[in-house]
Structure 1
C-alpha cells in the first residue's frame, strides 16, 4: 500500500465520522506535517469532505498547528546540534540575524512561494532566530494556496478522484491556479532578494 492509498483510506474514514470528522482531519494533518508527509492530498481531501469554506478553515488551522509543532521540534530538539555545526559560518549567521530582525516578512514570503517545501521549511525555520509570534503570523501566507487546493478538491466530488490524479478543473479554477503561480513567483524573487540584502547588511555591520 503506497502513501496515496493510506491517505485516501484515512480520508474515507474521516468522511464517515460526521461531526467528529473535522477534529480527526486536523489531528491527521498535524501528524502528516510533523512526519514530512506532503499535505497536498489532505488539502484536496478537505475540499471533498468539507467544501470550500469549512475545508479552507480546517486546512488552515491544521496546517498552522502542524507547522508550529514542527517548528518547536526543530527549535528545541535539533537547534543546539545545528548551531554547533554552523557556529563558524559567518554567512549563515548573517542570514540568521536577518531572519530574526524581519521574521514576519520572510516567513510570509516563503509561505507564498512554492519553491520552499512546506514540511521542510517548518523545521528549517525552527533553527533560525525567528520568533514564534512572527512565525505563526507569517502563516497567513498559506491562505491563497490553501483556498485554491481546497477549491480544486471540492470539484473532484469524491476522494477516489484526488488519489487518481484526475481532479477536474474549470476556467475559474485554471485562472486561480495561474494567479497563485504568479504570486508564488513574485514571492520567490522577493524573498531571495530581501534575504540577500539583509544578510549583506548584517555582514557589513558585523565587521565594523
Structure 2
C-alpha cells in the first residue's frame, strides 16, 4: 500500500465518521504535521469532504495546531542544545535576537511563500527566539494557500480521485493558483531582503559593541 492509498483510505474513513469527522481530521492533520508528512493531500481532502468554507476552517485550525506543537517540540527539546552550540558565536546570537524582534513579520512572510518547507519551518522557528505569540499570529499567512487547495479539493468532490492524484481544475482555480504563486514570489523576495537587512544591522551592532 503506497502513501496515496493510505491517504485515500484515511479520508474515506474520516468521511464516514459523520459529525466526528472534523475532530478526526484535525487530529490526523496534527500528527502528519509533527511527523513531517506533507499535508497537501489532506488539505485537498478537507475540501472534498467538508466543502470550501468548513474545509478551510478545519484545515487552518489543524495546520496551526500542528505547527504550534512542532514549534514547541523544537523549542523545548532542541533549543537548549542549539543554544549551547552557538553560545560561542555572539554574532549568531545577535542575529537571533534581531530576528525575534520582527518575529511576526518574518513568520507571516515565510508562511505566504511556498519556497520555505512548511513542516521543517515549524521546528526551525522553535530553535529561534521568535515568541510563541508572534509565531501563532504569523500563521495567518497560511490562509491564502489553504483556501486555494481546499477549493481545488472541493472541485473533485470525490475522495478516490484525490487519492489517485487526479484533481480537476477550472479557470477560477487556475487563476487562484497564479495569484498564490505571485503572492508567494513577492513574499519570498520580501522575506529574503528583510532578513538580510536585519542580519546585516545586527552584525554591525555586534561589531560596534565588541
* TM-score normalised per structure 2: 0.96
Q: Which residue does the alignment assign to 1:179?
A: 179
Q: Which residue does the alignment assign to 1:22?
A: 22
Query: Aligned to 2:98, what secondary structure does the other structure show?
Result: helix
Contact 1:95 1:195 in 2 (8 A): no
State the shift of 1:90 in Å: 4.6
d(CA) in 2 for partners of 1:157, 1:91:
52
Q: CA RMSD in A?
A: 1.0
d(CA) in 2 for partners of 1:91, 1:165:
46
Q: Which residue does the alignment assign to 1:115?
A: 115
1:122-201 pair list within 5 angstroms: 122-201=122-201
CA separation of 1:4/1:95 partners in 2, compared to 1, >3 Å: closer, same or farther?
farther
1:27-38 pair list within 5 angstroms: 27-38=27-38
State the shift of 1:157 in Å: 1.3
Query: Aligned to 1:165, what secondary structure does the other structure show?
Result: coil
1:70 has 2:47 as partner: no
Moved over 4 A (4+): none
Contact 2:33 2:70 in 1 (8 A): yes
Contact 2:91 2:206 in 1 (8 A): no
Offset from partner CA, 1:129-165 (integer Å, 9 cap, x none): 0000000000000000000000000011111111222
Query: Aligned to 2:169, what secondary structure does the other structure show?
Result: coil
State the shift of 1:93 in Å: 2.6
d(CA) in 1 for partners of 2:127, 2:203:
19
Deviates more, 1:191-200 or 1:77-86: 77-86
Contact 1:98 1:195 in 2 (8 A): no
Q: Which residue does the alignment assign to 1:52?
A: 52
Aligned length, in residue pairs = 208
Contact 2:30 2:66 in 1 (8 A): yes
d(CA) in 2 for partners of 1:114, 1:90:
31
Instruction: Structure 1: state its 5+ residue gaps.
Output: none
d(CA) in 1 for partners of 2:108, 2:145:
13
Q: Which residue does the alignment assign to 1:104?
A: 104
* TM-score normalised per structure 1: 0.97
